[in-house]
């Protein structure tokens, strides 16, 4: 059964990765880079800062960092070395079947050796989930962060460095980590200091 799941995952990857266009290669490399989204992170933090006092802002930052660290370390430091599933870009039998992208200097972008689970998916979906849990009652458009997380995750398949199952597992890890931090804040009685329970600020 497990082998059938893995084979279906590989076939899904080959299909999705084959849906490429040369003009999309550079944008996909750009959008997959973490620094690309710094303006978005700055904008989100600016909105939080506008809504709360400095103490509550500091507590929110600490909680958000915990989400990122939990998601990133679970996937990068535990799952990848434990499962040791090669990225498709490092699978010898896939080299002639998949689309890989060259960087500016002509070097093929392959990512690290192991890919299960995706740290990009874990981090982006973790952030999306945490902001959603905190601001679902205050920001009408906060659920669009899940679309952003999905787009970032898709770039990993387009670039040939992750299977769909890597993305799904990473996304679930990130969202679970965000929910866990959220629940810890609630149960530890410090959640009243975080933004979601404060009076809504009209913008």
Q: What is the pLDDT of residues 115-131, one digit of tens each?
A: 999 999 999 999 999 99
pTM attached to this predicted model = 0.91
Percent of the chain with pLDDT over 70: 93
CA distance 160 to 163: 8
DSSP of 112-178: -SB-SS-HHHHHHHHHHHHHHHHHTTT-TTGGGHHHHHHHHHHHHHHTTS--HHHHHHHHHHHHHHH
Q: Is there a contact between 90 and 113 (Cβ–Cβ < 8 Å)?
A: yes
**Max Cα–Cα distance, the chain, nearest Å:** 57
Sequential pLDDT tens for the chain (203 residues): 888 999 999 999 999 999 999 999 999 999 999 899 999 999 999 998 988 778 788 888 999 999 999 999 999 999 999 999 999 999 988 888 899 999 877 799 999 999 999 999 999 999 999 999 988 888 888 999 999 999 999 999 999 999 999 999 999 999 999 999 999 988 876 666 555 544 343 33
């Amino acid at each position: 059964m497990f082998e059938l799941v893995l084979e279906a995952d590989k076939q899904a990857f080959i299909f999705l990765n084959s849906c490429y266009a040369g003009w999309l290669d550079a944008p996909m490399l750009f959008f997959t880079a973490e620094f690309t989204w710094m303006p978005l992170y700055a904008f989100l933090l600016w909105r939080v800062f506008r809504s709360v006092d400095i103490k509550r802002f500091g507590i929110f930052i600490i909680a958000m960092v915990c989400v990122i660290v939990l998601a990133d370390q679970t996937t990068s430091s535990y799952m990848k070395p434990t499962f040791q599933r090669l990225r498709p870009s490092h699978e010898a039998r896939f080299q002639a079947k998949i689309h890989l992208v060259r960087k500016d200097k002509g070097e093929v972008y392959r990512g690290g050796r192991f890919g299960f689970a995706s740290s990009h998916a874990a981090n982006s979906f973790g952030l999306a989930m945490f902001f959603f849990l905190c601001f679902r009652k205050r920001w009408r458009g906060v659920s669009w962060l899940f679309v952003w997380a999905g787009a970032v995750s898709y770039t990993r398949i387009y670039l040939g460095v992750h299977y769909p199952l890597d993305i799904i597992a990473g996304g679930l890890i990130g969202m679970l980590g965000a929910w866990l931090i959220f629940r810890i804040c609630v149960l530890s009685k410090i959640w009243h200091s975080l933004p979601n329970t404060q009076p809504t600020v009209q913008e």
